[in-house]
Amino acid sequence: MASMGKLQAAPVVFELASDVPQGGVLCALPALLVMGLLRHTRKHFGLPAGYYPLEAIFLAIAFLALGRVKSLERLRYEPPG
C-alpha cells in the first residue's frame, strides 16, 4: 500500500530488548522532544504518503548523530536494536 501512496504512514512499534548497544542515547529522546525537535516538522517539511512518517525520519537522524554514526550508509553495519 505504501508503494501505491495509499498508506499515510506505518505505525512506529517498539519491541522489548534485553541488551541494546549504545542504548544510553535513548535517554536523550525526552530532552530532544522537549527542546522542540519535532515542533515544526510538518510546517517546514513535507513528504508524500509512504511507509515512514516524517517524525520517524527526524528521530532516526537524531539518533544517528547521538550514536556517532558517521553517515547514513554506515547504519547498515550497526547491530539491530
* pLDDT at residue 3 is higher than 70: no
Write out the residue range of the structural domain in which residue 38 sits.
Answer: 23-77
Residue 5 lies in a domain: no
Residue 59 lies in a domain: yes
What pLDDT, in 10s, does the model give residues 19-60?
777 778 888 888 888 988 888 888 888 877 777 788 888 888
User: How many domains would you assign to the chain?
Assistant: 1
Residue 66 lies in a domain: yes
* pLDDT at residue 81 is higher than 70: no
Residue 41 lies in a domain: yes
How far from 27 is each of 43, 49, 52, CA to CA, in Å?
A: 27, 30, 23
Grid coordinates given for 34 = 522537549
Residue 32 lies in a domain: yes
Residue 11 lies in a domain: no
Q: What is the pTM of this model?
A: 0.67
* pLDDT at residue 7 is higher than 80: no
